[in-house]
Amino acid sequence: MNSRKLVAEFLGTFFLVLLAVGSAVVGLKTSGVLAVAIGFGFVLILAAYAFGPVSGAHVNPAVTLAMVIGRKMPIAEAAGYWVVQFAGAIAAAAVLKLFTSSFGVTDETGALGSNAYDNGHINMAGAFVLEVLLTFAFVLVILLVTDRAANATTAGLAIGAALTAVHLVGIPLDGTSVNPARSFGPALMAGGTSLSQVWLFIVAPLVGGAVAAFVYPLTRAADA
């Protein structure tokens, strides 16, 4: 297995959680939903252009699963991606935990940017459906814009815009996952309710990514 790909996936996921989830932790209340959503989009754009040439910049187990189902990568390689994606998210969440617990930083999310349902905004069933749909839309965009017929120079911008859009919808409801690693790292460090509910934010995005992989052949460009 290519170690450079694994390092790229680890660092990409690390920075996604540290910078994007971190933007929610330190600024959700003061900066607002729009700023945090844009933060997620910008970080993913940076990851796409920095690490995309090395690993494809999945930085998301749901994206990797879609690539496996779409026969764009072997399962053995995907397993390595999954390990380092979760490891990168956990490492970044540990850094955020250090800042909020020891360095005097106020956690404006109250739970280290973790996701939640039954929170007064959405129930468990609603959160599951929401995450499936948002992840489906997000991953489908990735599959389509990274197709051979797409313009590779602008793919990162489209992917970042898609992540921003799904966060604008999801943040007020469940915090937006669409990424099992992004959810697991903060939930592990936050513990309590966050950890007990994280299963949904692992399973639902994987379902959404799988659905996107099956729909993708029906929507891709004919000459791709």
* Distances, alpha carbon 15 to alpha carbons 1, 56, 85, 96, 124, in Å: 22, 15, 11, 11, 29
Provide the pLDDT for residue 42.
97
Q: At residue 150, does pLDDT exceed 60?
A: no
Provide the pLDDT for residue 223.
61
Confidence of residue 221 (pLDDT cuts 50, 70, 90): confident
Provide the pLDDT for residue 152.
67
Provide the pLDDT for residue 153.
76
Provide the pLDDT for residue 32.
97
Lookup: tokens for 26? 């330190």
Share of the chain above pLDDT 70, in %: 96
**DSSP letter (8 states) at residue 182:** H
Confidence of residue 151 (pLDDT cuts 50, 70, 90): low
* Class for the domain spanning 3-219: mainly alpha
CA distance 27 to 31: 5
**DSSP letter (8 states) at residue 73:** S
Instruction: For residue range 80-128, list pLDDT tens digits in order.
Output: 999 999 999 999 999 999 999 999 999 999 999 999 999 999 999 999 9
Segment 162-183 shows an average pLDDT of 98
Return the domain boundaries, the chain: 3-219
**DSSP letter (8 states) at residue 7:** H
Where helices occur in 3-151 by DSSP H, the ranges are 3-15, 22-31, 33-55, 61-69, 75-102, 124-145
CA distance 8 to 58: 10
Q: Which of 166, 169, 173 is nearest to 212 (CA)?
A: 166
Q: Name the pTM for this structure.
A: 0.96
Provide the pLDDT for residue 149.
53
